[in-house]
Amino acid sequence: MPVLLSLETSTDVCSVAVHQDSSLLAIAEVHMSQAHASKLALLVKEVMAIANVTMKDLDGIAVSAGPGSYTGLRIGTSTAKGLCYALEIPLISAGTLDVMAENMRTFAAKEALLCPMIDARRMEVYCAMYSNEGFRVSEVEARVIDEQSFLDQLSAGRVVFGGNGSGKCRDVITHGNAVFLDGIFPSAKHLGNLAYRKLVEGDVEDLLRFEPFYLKEFKAKLPSNIIVPVANKPA
């Protein structure tokens, strides 16, 4: 009966869970932006104590692979890889949208499509479509939402939207088949469920090569008062 520690740090919610097989033993969450660096280690210690397990009892560490917050993904990945290396146990990953779809399945009718969304600023979201069984039926993409978004899917049937990117879409996606769920976020609880299935199937990551799936290249923002010198063009 494998024991898994799951770390979910891809959005503003930082969560940690311990599972034995697919059964949840303990979970702790902090709903606070930019708290991952200061809270993650404390949450790990808390859930391990609640679950009454030690690091030596762990058979694997699961981490959310992205997309999502660049900083959050880096913190979660570096922590998970460090623990796996020290404990000599496997690393398992699951896509952030896959984790959210696992959560949404509980609330959606079987015939509905699921569309988890992660806020990517302005009217852009990271999203993908899933069947109610949790199978992804479209590519993960960064998509700018407008009145024409998902019209083909909505014309064919019910589509359930959720996640921190879906709120801003309510006034834009107004089709009668669109349903919006509140309170959906990627949680270590559902990450652990997916990770257990992957571990049983032997679907683990290469510890040295694994990197988060950022989807979009990171672009640093410079303060407005900084002037970037431009090289003179050759004559």
Range 2-35 burial, b when 16+ CB lie within 10 A, else e: bbbbbbbbbbbbbbbbbbbeeebbbbbbbeeeeb
Nearest in space to 20 (alpha carbons), one of 30, 6, 37: 6
**Does the domain spanning 3-95+186-200 belong to CATH 3.40.30.10?**
no
What's this model's pTM, rounded to 2 decimal places? 0.90
The whole-number pLDDT of residue 217 equals: 65
Helix 70-87 × helix 36-51 angle, to 10°: 40
Q: Work out whether strand 91-94 and strand 141-144 pair parallel, antiparallel, or are unpaired.
A: unpaired
Report pLDDT digits (tens) over 179-228.
999 999 999 999 999 999 999 999 999 999 999 999 976 544 444 454 44
Q: What percent of the chain clears pLDDT 70, i.e. is strictly above it?
A: 92
- How far apart CA 53 and CA 204 sit, in angstroms, is 22
- Using CA atoms, how far apart are residues 235 and 214, in angstroms rounded to an integer? 40
Q: What was the pLDDT predicted at 221? A: 47
CA nearest neighbour of 183 among 162, 160, 158: 162
**Does residue 46 have a pLDDT over 70?**
yes
Task: Look at residue 220 in the predicted model and tell me its pLDDT.
Answer: 45
Q: Are 27 and 2 in contact (CB under 8 A)?
A: no
**pLDDT tens per residue across span 101-156:** 999 998 888 889 999 999 998 999 999 999 999 999 999 999 999 999 999 999 99
Domain ranges of the chain: 3-95+186-200, 97-181
Per-residue pLDDT, 109? 82
Please tell me the CATH superfamily of domain 97-181, with its number. ATPase, nucleotide binding domain (3.30.420.40)
* Mean pLDDT of the 76-91 span: 98
Q: Do domains 3-95+186-200 and 97-181 have the same CATH topology?
A: yes
